[in-house]
Amino acid sequence: MIAQRKDDHVRLAVEQQRGHSGHNQFDEVSFVHHALAGIDRPQVSLATGFAGVSWTAPLYINAMTGGSVNTGLINRDLATAARETGVPIASGSMSAYFKDPSCAETFSVLRTHNPGGFVMANINATASVDNARRAVDLLQADALQIHLNTVQETVMPEGDRSFGSWPGQIEKIAAAVDVPVIVKEVGNGLSRQSVLLLGELGVAAADLGGRGGTDFARIENGRRALGDYAYLHDWGQSTAACLLDAQDAGLPVLASGGVRHPLDVARALALGASAVGASGGFLRTLLDGGVEALVGQLKTWLDQLAALQTMLGAPTPAALTGCDVLIEGSLRAFCADRGIDTARLARRTTTTAAAAGAAGTTMNPAAHTATTAGAGAETGAGAAETTGSTR
């Protein structure tokens, strides 16, 4: 039953990818073009960090699958691509392993085929502390993701219907495991209030997991005979909206959900993400073209992200938080309703240049931001403080 559900998830997720219109709220975020802001490519680094974690690039393969023979093969290939490109990778939910230990290898291949890589285990918020430790041990994981999926569970025919214990259980797990805990939404987004609460619960970072990518309400509704939860399709906030909402919330944030190409990665980093994850698009590439195609896609994304940083004058991913960005359309309306000052985002380099002038110095604003945002990559708040909070 569980194995069949996991295979259904993969099939339905790929069908969604092939049917996407291509538009989401990342398209309502644009960079102000400064023609003389560019720097030299050798000055650019892709390295990033948060909560004591250091990655060579701000891109990761986010949680997908595991629990059946077919998904084990997918995880093996994902792990191979992660190993060949050096990007971190997360497992899919390991609940199937807790119920049936015989499927352990469908998850552990993430480590056996990527022995030196950064691997994240993944559990739900109802997992016991013992199971959280089992998940970390099985993958020799460097971090632990706890996924939040109340909408998916609500639509899932066999899903959970009790969510009140989740905050307390997250707090227990975060205190008990020896690796950083990252709490992630699965595609409906984390509000500012949720991020603030997660900080109080002791987690290391929040993966905002916004609307715009794989829609698990749609997937689970596709498994229902009557398809009677269609009104919950597209529930929640987009990743771009969540990034704007979470500024200065005091917790490092990662961005996933609806990330389609390197420009979306740069947009998310400019809005305060320490790193950016994708899953559905990478899965489609793997299933359509194999490991070689996915390795090529990941390398292209990394190369083009470095090119975008060069053009924008951002020596580091954190320095992108010093670039001027414009917020338009429905995303601008969201910001107005949530009390977010988008005008400050549009003139960050002006603010930085004015500060440098007052100090009697002259410099490229993005280079200045790179210096002051270095700590922000670790704390998740420093970059926002450097460039000016929108709140």
pLDDT in tens, the chain (391 residues): 566 666 666 666 666 666 666 789 999 999 999 999 999 999 999 999 999 999 999 999 999 999 999 999 999 999 999 999 999 999 999 999 999 999 999 999 999 999 999 999 999 999 999 999 999 999 999 999 999 999 999 999 988 999 999 999 999 999 999 999 999 999 999 999 999 999 999 999 999 999 998 898 999 999 999 999 999 999 999 999 999 999 999 999 999 999 999 999 999 999 999 999 999 999 999 999 999 999 999 999 999 999 999 999 999 999 999 999 999 999 999 999 999 999 999 999 987 666 666 656 545 555 544 444 443 444 343 333 333 344 5
Would you list the DSSP string of 59-119?
A: EEE-----SSHHHHHHHHHHHHHHHHHT--EE----HHHHH-GGGTHHHHHHHHTSTTS-E
pLDDT of residue 351: 72
Total-model pTM:
0.89
HSE at residue 26, side-chain half, CA atoms within 13 A, is 24
pLDDT of residue 123: 98
Sign of CA dihedral 331, 247, 175, 58: positive
Number of neighbouring beta carbons within 10 Å of residue 362: 9
pLDDT of residue 377: 42
pLDDT of residue 378: 43
pLDDT of residue 350: 86
3-state secondary structure of 136: helix
Structure-token pair, residue 71 = 């998904």
Beta bridge partners of 183: 146, 206
Distance of CA 359 to CAs 314, 353, 356, 371, Å? 22, 10, 5, 15
Beta bridge partners of 30: 326
What are the b/e assignments for 256-293, b being 16+ CB within 10 Å? bbbbbbbbbbbbbbbbbbbbbbbbbbbbbbbbeeebee
Q: How far apart are CA 3 and CA 73, in angstroms?
A: 13
Structure-token pair, residue 321 = 């938080």
pLDDT of residue 216: 86
Per-chain mean pLDDT for the chain: 90
